[in-house]
Structures are given as C-alpha cells and as structure tokens.
Amino acid sequence: MPFPALDDLLRDAHVVSLPLRDRFRGVDHREALLVEGPRGWTEFSPFLEYDDAEASAWLRATIDFGWGPEPRALRDRVAVNATLPAVDAGDVPRILRRYPGCRTVKVKVAERGQSLADDVARVRAAREFIGDEGRVRIDANTNWSVDETLAALTELAPFGLEYVEQPVPTVAELAEVRRRIADTSLGVRVAADESVRKAADPLAVARAGAADLLVVKAQPLGGVTAALGIVAEAGLPVVVSSAIDTSVGLAMGAFLAASVPVLEHDCGLGTAAMLTADVAREPLLPRDGGVDVRRIDVDVDLLREHAAENARRRWWFERVRASYELLAAGS
C-alpha cells in the first residue's frame, strides 16, 4: 500500500466538530480529521481517550481508504440497524423514527448510573416499536460481569434478542458467558466487539470459541484490507459497525461490509442519523433500511462551517504525527 508523506496527510486536512442529537458515550460532539487522498476523502477519528498506539491503527485505515487499493465491493447497498442510546423508554420512538425502514435495533444497555430496570424498559420499548418481525440486539460495552450478564439476559431474553454484544471485558469471560448460556434455555448468541477491535490479537476470541459472531469496524482494525483479512481468518459471521463516524468514515465501513463474502446480519452503519450536521450535502443516512456503498462528496463549505477550534485542530494534527511515527517505525 502506498504510504504518503506526513506533509501530504496534513497539508489540506480539516478537523470538524459535529454535534450529536443525543449524548452518546459521554459526548455530545464528534470530532474527526478529514483529508482527501488520490482515492477520495478519508477519515481519522479515534475516540479521544485512545492512546497513540491504538490510534495508529485508525491512521492506517485512513491511509488505506485514501491511498490504498479500491475495495472490491460485492454489493452496492448494505442493510443497517437503528442505534438506540441509553435513553429513557419514552424517548425510544422519537429516536427510532430517524431510521426509516430499518428492521433491526441495537440497544445500548448497562449504562453507568442506570439500572437493569431502565434497560428492560428501553428494550421493551424498542421491541414494541420494531414489532414481532423485527430484530433487537443489545450492547453492554463490557460493563457487566459474567453473573450480571446472566441475570440481565434472564430479564431481557423474553424480548427475543438477536444477540448480546460484548457484555464482559475479557475473552475468557466471554467464553464463560457463552458456556453458561448454553446450559440454560436463554438461547441468546454472543457477539464480540472490544475483544476484536481493541485486542492485540483480534483473532483470539475466535480461536477461544468465545463468540458466535464478530463485530468488526474498519478504522480500529487498520482499514478495509486488514479487516477483510481478519474476517477471512476468523471464519465467523460478522456485523460491520461504525464508531459514530462522519459520512466519510461510514463510507469506509460500507465498503468493508460490501466486500465481505457472506453478510447475513444488518450492519451498524446508519449512525449518521445520530448527527445534527455532517460533512456532505448528501450524507450517508439510512433510507429504506439501508445505506448505499459509495464514496462521499465532501462539501468544503460544511468543513468550514463545522471546523473545530484552532486548539483542537492542533491537537488532532499532533495526534496524526504521533500515530504516523509509530506506523513509520513499524513499517
């Protein structure tokens, strides 16, 4: 893969701050750095708390999508799920109406400061909105223990869960959750997310038999090319998801989903609906239950309108430099 000079990455880079409709992961704005490479616009947007080593994988993805080979898309459209933050049950219809035609809802649970009763109410409301034919999946973001997971699933499984995503932090705990579910009549599958994208060895969870399916994200795994290699080696069904990206980052995820040989599950690539602003006049919003697989035509006026403050721009440029140095040393 071509490796651009650092100056080429930063010379015309833009840093934006996009407001969210509802608070998510403790933030109400999403920051991202965008740059145009020979293949088109590409994105660098690791979460703020990630260190340089972890962020360097995201920069590899930035380079892969902007300078690397064009992904070989096998489909031109990808079905997506609605994403439901840890809101009050009464807010569920308002949020899910932003995802027209979506047949699957991903519900955030195990939010700090909330109770299992809050989760039950939210999942019940999601099920009522989506109907009996729709699918409901839950994501605990590692915030439960093994025992808490089993207790929560006992309460939530009656709502017909497609799967529970990363309920516990470690691969060993995931394997234990999966084993204990098998000893019950709960019938809930286990998906791994953080144990893939934040792991030194993203294939460890598959080798350990700790998950029924994997949630894969293009940026944290080093780009479409690298992620496809992981999917092929893991040999498990996958859900391609996003990290509240701009439409540019979502396009990267859409190309990954479009390139996976077998795609049986709706993907978490409809999250442009969580933003009140984006970087394109035609953002990658979910329509009729899916998103198109396409490069994004970024509008420079929108980049200027939503430009981050100078201090934040400098912070992101330094982050690129640090990540670039790690990539260069590794190459």
Q: Which of 328, 302, 325 is nearest to 32 (CA)?
A: 302
Task: Kindly state the helix (H) or strand (E) to which residue 238 belongs, with its residue range.
Answer: strand 238-241
Catalytic annotation, pick one of 14, 30, 108, 135: 108
Q: Residue 25 — pLDDT band, cuts 50, 70, 90?
A: confident
Greatest distance between any 2 Cα atoms in the chain: 57
The ranges of the chain annotated as CATH 3.20.20.120 are 77-296
The ranges of the chain annotated as CATH 3.30.390.10 are 6-69+301-330
Cβ–Cβ contacts within 10 Å for residue 225, how many?
A: 19
Q: What angle do CA 144, 147, 150 make, to 5 degrees?
A: 90
Percent of the chain with pLDDT over 70: 99
Which pair of structure tokens corresponds to residue 314? Answer: 């400098």
Q: Which of 198, 179, 201 is nearest to 190 (CA)?
A: 179
114-141 burial, b if ≥16 CB within 10 A, otherwise e? eebebbbebbbbbbebbeeebbbbbbbb
**Per-residue pLDDT tens over the stretch 284-325:** 999 999 999 999 999 999 999 999 999 999 999 999 999 999
How long a stretch of residues is the chain? 331
217 labelled catalytic: yes
CATH topology of domain 77-296: TIM Barrel (3.20.20)
pLDDT value at position 76? 97
292 is in an annotated binding site: no
Q: What is the DSSP letter of 237?
A: -
Beta bridge partners of 292: 77
Can you tell me the mean pLDDT for 76-101?
97
Q: How far apart are CA 242 and CA 221, in angstroms?
A: 11
- Give the SS3 label for residue 299: coil
Q: Residue 3 — pLDDT band, cuts 50, 70, 90?
A: confident
**Per-residue pLDDT tens over the stretch 151-185:** 999 999 999 999 999 999 999 999 999 999 999 99
108 labelled catalytic: yes
Number of alpha carbons in the 13 Å side-chain half-sphere of residue 237: 12
The predicted model scores a pTM of 0.96
Q: What is the DSSP letter of 218?
A: T
pLDDT value at position 1? 63
Q: Please determine, for residue 251, whether its predicted confidence score (pLDDT) is greater than 80.
A: yes
The answer to whether the CB of 61 falls within 8 A of the CB of 250 is: no
Catalytic annotation, pick one of 217, 265, 306, 319: 217
Q: Please determine, for residue 200, whether its predicted confidence score (pLDDT) is greater than 90.
A: no
pLDDT value at position 23? 80
The answer to whether the CB of 111 falls within 8 A of the CB of 134 is: no
64 is in an annotated binding site: no
132 is in an annotated binding site: no
Can you tell me the mean pLDDT for 28-54?
96
User: Which ranges in the chain belong to alpha helices (H)?
Assistant: 6-10, 52-67, 92-96, 116-130, 146-156, 171-182, 194-197, 204-207, 224-234, 247-259, 300-305, 310-330
**Per-residue pLDDT tens over the stretch 58-69:** 999 999 999 999
CATH 3.30.390.10 fits 6-69+301-330, yes or no: yes
| Least confident window among 76-90, 97-111, 193-207, 242-256 | 193-207
